[in-house]
Amino acid sequence: MKGAVLTRELDKVASVRNPTPRGQAAVDAVLDTVDELIGLAGATPEAVGVAVPGIVDDTTGIAVWSENIGWRDVPFRDLISERTGTRVAVGHDVRAGGTAEIRLGAARGVRNALVMPIGTGISAAMLIDGHLCVGDGYAGEIGHMSVGTDDPCVCGGKGCLEAVAAAPAVARAYTARTGRALETHAVTALAQAGDPDALAVWNETIDHLATALATATTLLAPEIIVIGGGLSKAGDLLLKPLETALHARLAYQRRPRIVEASFSDEAGTIGAALWARDLL
Amino acid sequence: MKGAVLTRELDKVASVRNPTPRGQAAVDAVLDTVDELIGLAGATPEAVGVAVPGIVDDTTGIAVWSENIGWRDVPFRDLISERTGTRVAVGHDVRAGGTAEIRLGAARGVRNALVMPIGTGISAAMLIDGHLCVGDGYAGEIGHMSVGTDDPCVCGGKGCLEAVAAAPAVARAYTARTGRALETHAVTALAQAGDPDALAVWNETIDHLATALATATTLLAPEIIVIGGGLSKAGDLLLKPLETALHARLAYQRRPRIVEASFSDEAGTIGAALWARDLL
């Protein structure tokens, strides 16, 4: 987990990076990281913003559920507020990153956008009519939209986008095709170099992403789709072919541009800081 | 097209029903119907609400495009406002019906809902965090979400939900299976009576609807899905099996109830009246 102390102008004063344990230890680690940052700042901040993964209700500040971390119904806003005596905003990590992209980054200036990081998982921040959608914490789970394959997903479903197009899926598909085990970035590099196996895997990944984004576009009508996360590092190997594949699937729908995120690793931190500043 | 004069308490004072021509004649027919209603009312109303199909920007009051009617960029709000000298609200017919269901009908009291009429076409009104989504007129086009088949759609796409699960598609599928031509309601009646061919067609329709609704649920997280339009008249033949099929496709997602619309033919009129009343 990452944390930072920022000024009102978003200049970074201090930052920390700590491991994320599981279950109650993860809850304690979040609280300890906040304490550590307050110690580094030398004073209680005017407000605290926290972004966590899983199902998170930004309205109540409760981390409802995370399969990966293994917590359920953690009232982070109240816990941190009582501990620090200051204002606290809590929300979903992808919506925090989305907030950074929408207010300051690649999606600045539009009222309808989709911000989709592709890393070990896939999720999206949805901006519709200028409103960032929460759905009591359940909205935007594009990674668990079925793209029609039979691949099993960690969620218990099958054919989920995340199971076939997140970063680990690219590596898995390459291994299944060739019998060789490579990290995702190595597969990407091979595809960039024109390796036929890597390219076949890559094109299939793009197909799955385009299928999911065509559906999302039909429902949500974004003007722009911002791709973040590890896979976005592939740059033009990903973005242009994905935009072409998406547009080919659309008829009368509005055709969104697909662009790379402005903030990479920092998006969540900046978004959480913006939420904290909103409380002032 | 239908029109009505209502009091502020939504009591109906007068109503008319006129044919809908195509192109510019349809624009004129809308304006004439407004005039006719004003004549019936005996006075200029305090406000006018108009709901039209296709791509409609509720914010600007412009009917952007309708394939069926054949108009493009008609500034209905300004046209009617100039003609009548009163306040005018213009929006999408399905969002008008959704507004009626959300404020007064089957979706009353929730902040996240999907209202989906199934008639000759399929579209949806999406309520997220209490906000009715517009997307410059392009949001909610669930009828043109692909469910993965190769069936051609009027929009130019293929596998669109509307092409395989709207009312005409039920009749088409029955004819394709049996060589017998029946109206949709007759196929529904046969399915109700246990006819194996009609039931097979019906179950396939439910499968397609469940596929699309599972995707919509994953993205939008509705607490309730309201089904309207002609096909909703099938009642429990549709609603319970559809809810079961939807829930079977969901993993950790919130499980929406599926219920029948409260307003049938009147939903659009009541919704447009609510929009008009909002202007007062």
Quote the CA–CA distance of B220 and A141 in Å, as a whole number: 8
pLDDT for the residue B38: 95
For B258, the 3-state DSSP assignment is strand
pLDDT for the residue B177: 98
Across the interface, of A155, A250, A254, the residue whose CB is closest to B252 is A155
Residue A5, min C-alpha distance to chain B (Å): 31
DSSP state, residue B136: G
Average pLDDT over residues B39-54: 94
Check: CB of residue B102 under 8 Å from CB of residue B119. Answer: no
Check: CB of residue A217 under 8 Å from CB of residue A250. Answer: yes
Average pLDDT over residues B239-249: 98
Quote the CA–CA distance of A67 and B218 in Å, as a whole number: 16
Q: What is the CATH number of domain B2-96+266-278?
A: 3.30.420.40
Q: What are phi and psi of B122, to 5 degrees?
A: -135, 130
**pLDDT greater than 90 at residue B15:** yes
CATH superfamily, domain A106-260, is: ATPase, nucleotide binding domain (3.30.420.40)
Type of residue at B271: G
pLDDT for the residue A83: 94
Type of residue at B49: G
Q: What is the CATH number of domain B109-260?
A: 3.30.420.40
Q: Where in chain B is the domain with CATH 3.30.420.40?
A: 2-96+266-278, 109-260
Taking the Cβ of residue A92 and every Cβ of chain B, the question of whether any pair is shorter than 8 Å is answered with no
pLDDT for the residue A153: 95
B140: which chain A residues are within 8 Å (Cβ-Cβ)?
A: 219
A69, A176, A204, B167, B183 from B154: Cα distances, Å: 46, 39, 28, 14, 20
Taking CA–CA distances from B145, the nearest residue in chain A reads A215
Taking the Cβ of residue A261 and every Cβ of chain B, the question of whether any pair is shorter than 8 Å is answered with no
A34, B124, B136, B236, B238 from B245: Cα distances, Å: 45, 19, 32, 13, 11
A253, B83, B124, B199, B275 from B76: Cα distances, Å: 22, 10, 22, 44, 14
Residue A87: beta bridge partners? A47
pLDDT for the residue B197: 98
Q: Is A114 exposed, middle or buried (0-12, 13-18, 19+ CB in 10 A)?
A: buried
**pLDDT greater than 90 at residue B67:** no
CB-based burial, A68-88: b 16+ in 10 Å, e otherwise: ebebeebbbbebbbeebebbb
pLDDT for the residue B153: 95
**pLDDT greater than 90 at residue B265:** no
Q: Which residues of chain A fall short of a pLDDT of 50? A: none
Across the interface, of B65, B156, B251, the residue whose CB is closest to A156 is B251
A111: which chain B residues are within 8 Å (Cβ-Cβ)?
A: 136
pLDDT-derived band at B147 (thresholds 50, 70, 90) equals: very high
- Rg of chain B over Cα atoms, rounded to whole angstroms, equals 19
Domain A2-93+266-278 coded CATH 3.30.420.40: yes
A104, A179, B122, B214, B224 from B260: Cα distances, Å: 43, 52, 15, 18, 10
A126: which chain B residues are within 8 Å (Cβ-Cβ)?
A: 219
DSSP state, residue A137: G
Average pLDDT over residues B7-32: 96
Q: Where in chain A is the domain with CATH 3.30.420.40?
A: 2-93+266-278, 106-260
pLDDT for the residue B37: 96
pLDDT for the residue A258: 98
Helix axes B196-220, A196-220, angle to 10 degrees: 90
Average pLDDT over residues B195-218: 98
Average pLDDT over residues B85-97: 97
Cα of A88 vs its chain's centroid, Å: 21
Tell me if A129 and B112 make a contact (CB, 8 A cut-off).
no
Q: What are phi and psi of B127, to 5 degrees?
A: -105, 120
Residue A154, min C-alpha distance to chain B (Å): 10
Quote the CA–CA distance of B188 and B48 in Å, as a whole number: 38
**Which value does ipTM take for this structure?**
0.95
pLDDT for the residue B242: 98
Taking the Cβ of residue A89 and every Cβ of chain B, the question of whether any pair is shorter than 8 Å is answered with no
Check: CB of residue B270 under 8 Å from CB of residue B231. Answer: no
Tell me if B220 and A133 make a contact (CB, 8 A cut-off).
yes
Residue B225, min C-alpha distance to chain A (Å): 14
pLDDT tens digits, residue range A202-236? 999 999 999 999 999 999 999 999 999 999 999 99
pLDDT-derived band at B264 (thresholds 50, 70, 90) equals: confident
Quote the CA–CA distance of B191 and B186 in Å, as a whole number: 9
Quote the CA–CA distance of B106 and B115 in Å, as a whole number: 9
Q: Which residues contact B276 (CB under 8 A, 6 or more apart)?
A: B45, B46, B47, B48, B49, B87, B88, B89
CB-based burial, A172-193: b 16+ in 10 Å, e otherwise: bbbeeebeeebebeebbebbee
pLDDT for the residue A264: 81
pLDDT tens digits, residue range A34-68? 999 999 999 889 999 999 999 999 999 999 999 88
A142: which chain B residues are within 8 Å (Cβ-Cβ)?
A: 218-219
